Structure formats: structure tokens, C-alpha cells
Structure 1
Amino acid sequence: MTSSETHSAIRSEAGPRTSPFRPAETDRDAAPQFVLPLVVRIEKAAPPALTDALETAARAVLVLLSDERATAADGEWAEAVRAWQDARIRKVVRRARGAEWRRAGTLPGITLTGHGGRTHDGGEDGGGAPPAAEVRVFPPVPLDGWPKELVKLQVSGTELDDPEPPAVPDPAGPVLWMNPHIDMSAGKAMAQAGHGAQLAWWQLTGPARAAWRAAGFPLAVRTPSPERWAELTASGLPVVRDAGFTEVAPGSCTVVADHPALRRR
């Protein structure tokens, strides 16, 4: 496998029946299929921490979804984003380093930098900590129409970890909870975190979206205990269910999107 691809059938258990994430909408499969590419920078000798990569990927998806180039009627990315959301919501995460990363940066897109570790240019922000994660998100492309700068990039065989256990998340902030019963590659988990962030975004009201964006899309990605996971999946919060084309069984619940505004609902 040369990429981590999620053919998504994500939905909100509490969402409206008109939700575009409902897997029952089979006409979505008949539409032209697009994919949202994300590229994570993984230098061979200095990979980022797993949690920082997950959180940065999720924030990258939110930044693209809220960017005027995607939201304005005449935005340069608007047509591609609409086509992507009219079909299956697919995200593919690939890795790049060195010249590959620099070439990826020449394409239209948005690069997000994580919050932990030192910088790749040699600056220190955390002693001997891993470098801050860097993720570049691109406007959607046709499933079989990847740019040549990205098409050969891979993510298989890459495993990330956390040198230390992540801190307890802010109970007043958004948290994307990952299923503790499922093992996923780093790329697959990043795609799932992006799904969770997108699902939360779709469920929020306009004012709640604006507030989240103005704050810089703070969020945490954590793995709860099995007992807490059972509570979360029964809480009415949005749930990501994967179509099961790669790594996990069809219908697997992978992420619960926990946002303060959604808890109040």
C-alpha cells in the first residue's frame, strides 16, 4: 500500500437526516470522485510526534474548509471542494521529506505547523523533543488525477509515536477521541482525525464556527479508556464511521468529535 486512504462513510449519529455524511446516500458513489490530499513532513532522522501530527492534520482540514478560496462562491478552490463534498468524503495522507517536501510546497495549498518540539531549521522549542509536525493540505483533486509532485509520495511503512504520553486535554476545549480498540497506521489515523474535525465543523452553527476559527482551531486528539469510549459513542456526539476499504472493518467507529458547543446540544 502506497498511501493511507479513507473511503469515507462518516456520519453523525445525532446529525440531521440530510447530512451529506450519511452512508445510505448511494447516489454519492455515482458522482465524480475527488480526494483531499494531505502531506506530512517526515524527515528520516527527525519524525514528528504522533499526537502532534494528528492534531496538525485535523487543524489543516479545518483551515481549508474555512478558507475563503473554498467558501466564496467564486473562490478558486470552491468548485473542487463542492465536487469533493458531493461524493464520498475521501482523504489521503502521504509523507514527504527533503526535496519532495519542497516540491509539494510549490503547489497551491496551506501548510500548518504543530505546537510541539523544535523547528526543522534548527531552532529549539523543546530541548530534545521531536520537531513540530508540518502538514500541507491541498484543494481536492480527482481520484485519478493527482499532481505529479504528489502522486509518487508514500506513507506506508511510517510509524510515529509519542516520546511522552500526551497531556490531559482541556475539558473545556474540543477533543477528537480515537477508538482505543483499533490499531491504525499514522497516515490512516491522521485521515480519521481530519474526518472528525470536519464532522464537528459541519455540525456547528455559524457563530460557533466563527469563534473556533478566530481562536485558531484549538483541539486535542486523544485515545480514551475503553470505558470512556463506550460513554462517548453513546453520548450523541458526532461519530465517524469508516467505509472499511483500508485497515479497518466496514462501519468501524473510529473517532468521536467532542466540541463544547456540541456537548451543549
Structure 2
Amino acid sequence: MLPLNVLDPLVSRYAQWLSLVSEATADTSDEDPDDVVLMPVVLRIERREPPARTALLEAAAAAALAVCLDERCAPGGEWHEAMHGWISGRIRKVTRRARGAHWEAVQSLPGITVEVDGAEVRALLPMRVADMPKELSRLQISGSDLEPDSPGPAADGVPVLWLHPDVPMSAGKAAAQVGHASMLLAAQLHGDGSGEELERWAAEGYRCAVRQASAETWSDLHPGTDPETAWRKDRVAVVRDAGFTEVDPGTVTVLAQWPTG
């Protein structure tokens, strides 16, 4: 059984996050940077044979959710306290790139590695910045961009994570955003009592498609100020960014669409 209760804080706060601008633009000036808790997401980007951008983002989306719903996150599990504490606060991720021996080194850290079409991503158990081990802290945050690719239409029956058509993001930034999106989709399904759908998704390795939305698709799916209706009508969940990096606070970066038929 999936430890779905770990998603409860997301279920209860989702609509509030979208309706209150103050949540997206919260003042964090009094935070101690060392005490910030975040989920590290490590992207494998080899120098000679870098992965396809879309496959890497799809792996990131699956890995972020897989680590949240790992059985070790259930109450009493060895990961429960760290995961519950993180999901109950601000959902922050940081992406870092690794290659060669550095990629191999992070495999020993608590987390889940997902591979999609040769692209590999490891999502790690959330931790305080001050507690990051050297295997992780030595990795670069910058330099994670990849050339755009043309993946073609998404397969039928697969959730689609639509990237904003007019908001450029590096591969690292987009990886964090689609990781948020997969988590919000799971939280919405859990809130609906759709446990069987979540179990099937888990059995498929949380497979999803990441695609750049056209202006028309974005306009059709964007919920405006009514995210609850958007979920009931189109099964669309929304990622609104806090604006710490690359984009303005409050920017909707991803529309995550669960298949309806």
C-alpha cells in the first residue's frame, strides 16, 4: 500500500496556495539559509552523451513522486519524519547536475533513481541545507540546461505536464517544476479518494509526459481563479512558483493534466 497520508498537507493547502498571492510571494527575509529544508534532485548530465531534455524532465517528475510515496515514508518508516516535515512546510526543491563518479556517489544517499529513455534522475530525501553531505554539496547547480527536443504527441492514458509556452526555464528549473506537478496530481487524486488510480500509476513507475504547451492549449486548460473547477472539469492541477529563481513570484509554470478517458 502506498503511504498516501503523506500527501495530506498538500491536499488541504492546494486551493489556498493558488488563491492567495501572498503564499506565492511570502517574505522569507528572516530565514536562516542553512535551516531551509528542500528536496535535492540530481540530474545525470554526462558531458559527451547528455540526455534528451524531455526524457530527463519526465524522469525528474517520476522520481520526485516516487520518493514521496516510497513505503519508507509511511508512519513509523525510516523516512517518515523527514518527508512529513518537508511536505508540511514549503515545498522546495533544488536541482544539481552530476556525471561520472559524482553521479555514482549520490546513489548511496537516501532516495530514488528513475530512468526514462536513457535519462536518469535521482530524487533524494528532503534535508536541511546545512546537513547536505559533501557528495551533494559539491555538485553544480548551474549548467544544467539542454537543447530543446521534439518528443512528439504524448501517449494515450498518460498524465501530461504542460510547460508554460512563454516562460523560458532551464532544464534544472523545469525539472523542479514538473516534480512539483507530479506531487500535486497525486495529492489531488488522493483528495478525491482515487486510491486505485494512484496504485495503477505507481505500478507504471509514475510514468508521465512533459510537453511544451501551445498558446491555445495553455489558454484552454488554465483555471484562472477557480482551480477547484479546473480539477473537477478537466482534472488539471496547477504549479505556481514562489519566484526564488528564474521566474517572477506567482508565475504559473506547469499545468498538470490527469487523463480523463
TM-score, length-normalised on structure 1?
A: 0.80
Instruction: Say whether the 8 Å CA contact 1:28–1:86 is kept in structure 2.
Output: no
User: Offset of 1:92 from its aligned partner?
Assistant: 0.7
Instruction: Say whether the 8 Å CA contact 1:33–1:87 is kept in structure 2.
Output: no
Q: How does 1:151-230 map to 2 (within 5 A)?
A: 151-162=137-148, 164-204=149-189, 205-230=194-219
* 1:19 equivalent in structure 2: 13
Runs of 4+ in 1 over 3 A off after TM superposition: 20-33
Distance in 1 (CA, whole Å) between partners of 2:238 and 2:104 is: 35
Percent identical pairs in the alignment equals 45
Of 67, 75, 79 in structure 2, the residue corresponding to residue 64 of structure 1 is 67
Instruction: Say whether the 8 Å CA contact 1:38–1:136 is kept in structure 2.
Output: yes
Structure with more of its chain in helix, by fraction: 2
Of 44, 53, 65 in structure 2, the residue corresponding to residue 50 of structure 1 is 53
Unaligned runs of 5+ residues in structure 2 are: 1-9, 224-229
User: Offset of 1:91 from its aligned partner?
Assistant: 0.7
Query: How big is each residue's C-alpha offset from its partner over 1:189-243, in whole Å with a ceiling of 9 and x where there is no partner?
Result: 0000101111101000222211211222221000121111111113442110001
TM-score, length-normalised on structure 2?
A: 0.81
Instruction: Say whether the 8 Å CA contact 1:41–1:134 is kept in structure 2.
Output: yes
* 2:80 equivalent in structure 1: 78
User: Offset of 1:111 from its aligned partner?
Assistant: 1.2
Query: How big is each residue's C-alpha offset from its partner over 1:55-110, in whole Å with a ceiling of 9 and x where there is no partner?
Result: 0000001211221011x211111100011011100011100111111211122222
Q: One-letter code of the match for 1:218?
A: R
* 1:126 equivalent in structure 2: none
Q: How does 1:17-166 map to 2 (within 5 A)?
A: 18-19=12-13, 22-23=16-17, 24=20, 33-70=36-73, 72-115=74-117, 132-162=118-148, 164-166=149-151
- Secondary structure at 2:217's aligned position in 1? helix
Q: One-letter code of the match for 2:97?
A: R
Q: One-letter code of the match for 1:107?
A: L
CA RMSD, Structure 1 to Structure 2 (Å):
2.4
Unaligned runs of 5+ residues in structure 1 are: 1-14, 116-131
Distance in 1 (CA, whole Å) between partners of 2:168 and 2:244 is: 15
Instruction: Say whether the 8 Å CA contact 1:28–1:87 is kept in structure 2.
Output: no
